[in-house]
Structure 1
Amino acid sequence: MSQPPQRLTDRKREAIVRAAVEEFRTAGYEATSMDRIAAVAGVSKRTVYNHFPSKEELFALILEELWESSAASVELPYRTDQPLQPQLLQLLRQKLDLLGDANFIDLARVAMAEIIHSPDRAQEIVGRMKEKESGVTGWIRAAIADGRLQPVDPEFATFQLEGLVKSFAFWPQVTLGQPPLAQAERRRVAESAVKMFLGHYAR
């Protein structure tokens, strides 16, 4: 069954978000203007403001969508009938694939700069993001409930596990401009992180 056509207002909103993502990614937050976003989206400035009252609100939406794309791309239902190691390896491979995407890294770099520049506004945005649980946290929570991991705060364990990965595949790329990891390096990072994590928490 074919999808119903998008309304014109929905198409315009989508074009504005796409244009904003591109402008924030290439020019940075401070250099991006609503005028420029309107021009790139092919809409009037008034249309942009009808959908988004300010650049701050538009940027906040993009940060939330960035977080949601990260959470949605790392999703694996916990399986009681399978060993922990291959399940966790698959989760981390999904995470590393996302962290290897140049557009994701570029947007993360813009977000990081704005968080440093305006920490108060950033804290509000980050607070909204934390209301949604990541796929990794959900998997860890299920493994704990199944009695196969030590009873630990799932969010704490997630920070630990993702920290092992991001030390190699996120922070060097965001802060130092290093290239994304090659496939062999991603595999090595994932296997090592899983071994360390399960060595500490597996029952």
Structure 2
Amino acid sequence: MIKRSDIKQEDIIKSAIEVFSKKGFEQASMEGISKHAGVSKRTLYKYYPNKEALFEVIVDKLMCRFDDQCEVEFEPSVSIARQLTELTHKQMCYLGNEDYQMTARLVMAECIRCHETSKVLVSKFESLGDSYGLQKWAKQGIQAGRLDISDVSVAIEQYMGSIKAVVFWPQLIAHLPPPSTDEVEHAINKAVESFVATYKVR
């Protein structure tokens, strides 16, 4: 059963994202956020002592997809292309989410504007041990003798980067509509094809 306090906090976080996005972090106020969320300032301060704390929660919300990722296991009997395609589809579902893109724009803008807030985001990224859950999968593939990768971290970042270059960054920066299913499929297929050609043991 969802607690009333959880609903209030979710309303506050959504309102903070919208207020920060419209006014910018510097110009936004706790009073403005409380009005937008329809809660008293006392309630707002009960959960979040200041804007910085709220911003950190927003960054956590942006990163939460890593916490919810499914357990990944390399299957030697299944083709590498099929495994990678299926895993990538599971990890890419957040890209077209409007709330995610709004949050990503906010975080990017504040990181460019302010060194202090940028450190929050960097620290969150550094705390992630296995981005997208694919590094573990790739290491298992190496142990199984099916993949030959000298630097797993770089290989996975380059793989995901090639997909995001087509179906994420243009939409985020230029405010284009979310990519279609066909566009996402095409980007993933091309990236998988390149990954397999580069790292599969012949």
TM bracket (short chain): 0.7 to 0.9
Count the aligned residue pairs: 198
- Looking at structure 2, the residues matched to 118 and 96 of structure 1 have their Cα atoms a distance apart, in angstroms, of 29
* SS at structure 1 position matched to 2:187: helix
- Checking the alignment, whether the CA contact within 8 Å between 2:138 and 2:152 is kept in structure 1 is yes
**Structure 1 vs Structure 2 CA RMSD:** 2.3
Measured against aligned partners, the alpha-carbon deviations of 1:108-140 in whole angstroms (never above 9, x if no partner) come to: 111111110113331233223321222222322
Match of 1:188 in 2: 186
In the alignment, is residue 130 of structure 1 matched against residue 126 of structure 2? yes
Match of 1:159 in 2: 157
- Checking the alignment, whether the CA contact within 8 Å between 1:75 and 1:91 is kept in structure 2 is no
Supply the AA of the counterpart residue of 2:181: Q
**One of 161, 167, 172 as aligned partner of 1:169:** 167
- Checking the alignment, whether the CA contact within 8 Å between 1:144 and 1:151 is kept in structure 2 is yes
1:26 shift after superposition: 5.1
1:43 shift after superposition: 1.9
Normalising by structure 1, report the TM-score.
Answer: 0.85
Relative distance call for 1:75 and 1:26 in structure 2 (3 A) is farther
Relative distance call for 1:191 and 1:41 in structure 2 (3 A) is same
In the alignment, is residue 88 of structure 1 matched against residue 104 of structure 2? no
Structure 1: runs of 5 or more not aligned: none
In the alignment, is residue 53 of structure 1 matched against residue 49 of structure 2? yes
1:179 shift after superposition: 1.9
Relative distance call for 1:194 and 1:35 in structure 2 (3 A) is same
1:201 shift after superposition: 1.1
**One of 74, 83, 91 as aligned partner of 1:79:** 74
Match of 1:150 in 2: 148
- Checking the alignment, whether the CA contact within 8 Å between 1:149 and 1:201 is kept in structure 2 is yes
Percent of aligned positions that are identical: 31
In the alignment, is residue 116 of structure 1 matched against residue 112 of structure 2? yes
Relative distance call for 1:26 and 1:158 in structure 2 (3 A) is farther
- Looking at structure 2, the residues matched to 10 and 73 of structure 1 have their Cα atoms a distance apart, in angstroms, of 18
- Checking the alignment, whether the CA contact within 8 Å between 2:171 and 2:179 is kept in structure 1 is no
1:23 shift after superposition: 3.0
* SS at structure 2 position matched to 1:99: coil
- Checking the alignment, whether the CA contact within 8 Å between 1:73 and 1:94 is kept in structure 2 is no
1:45 shift after superposition: 1.2
Relative distance call for 1:86 and 1:110 in structure 2 (3 A) is same
1:27 shift after superposition: 4.8
- Looking at structure 2, the residues matched to 94 and 119 of structure 1 have their Cα atoms a distance apart, in angstroms, of 33
Relative distance call for 1:38 and 1:99 in structure 2 (3 A) is same
Relative distance call for 1:91 and 1:34 in structure 2 (3 A) is same
* SS at structure 1 position matched to 2:93: helix
Structure 2: runs of 5 or more not aligned: none
